[in-house]
């Protein structure tokens, strides 16, 4: 079952409610997405830790229902 961009965004916001999240379906088929997440909770964390937080929010769907995710994360400037 394919995911929708809004569903991915909502899953991220459950874990990072302060985040600014943009999710784009790259192929239009619900299998490959690009996400940009900006959150205060990323302050003091390296890129790997930031990505781990987002992957945790996606509850194991990456590699299953979500075939590919291009992820950009950052703390607010």
CATH number at 38 reads: 3.30.300.90
Which tens digit of pLDDT belongs to each residue from 14-68?
A: 999 999 999 999 988 887 899 999 999 999 999 999 999 998 988 776 666 677 8
pLDDT at site 3: 78
Sign of CA dihedral 64, 8, 56, 36: positive
Examine the pLDDT at 1 and tell me if it is beyond 90: no
Q: What is the pTM of this model?
A: 0.88
pLDDT at site 28: 84
pLDDT at site 64: 66
**Which residue range is the domain that position 29 belongs to?**
5-74
Q: Which phi and psi (to 5°) does residue 70 adopt?
A: -90, 120
Domain count, the chain: 1
């Amino acid at each position: 079952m394919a995911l929708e961009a809004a569903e991915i965004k909502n899953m991220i916001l459950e874990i990072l409610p302060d985040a600014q999240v943009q999710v784009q379906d790259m192929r239009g088929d619900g299998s490959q997405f690009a996400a940009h997440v900006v959150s205060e909770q990323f302050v003091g964390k390296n890129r790997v830790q930031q990505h781990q937080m987002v992957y945790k929010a996606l509850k194991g769907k990456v590699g299953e229902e979500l075939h590919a995710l291009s992820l950009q994360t950052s703390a607010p400037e």
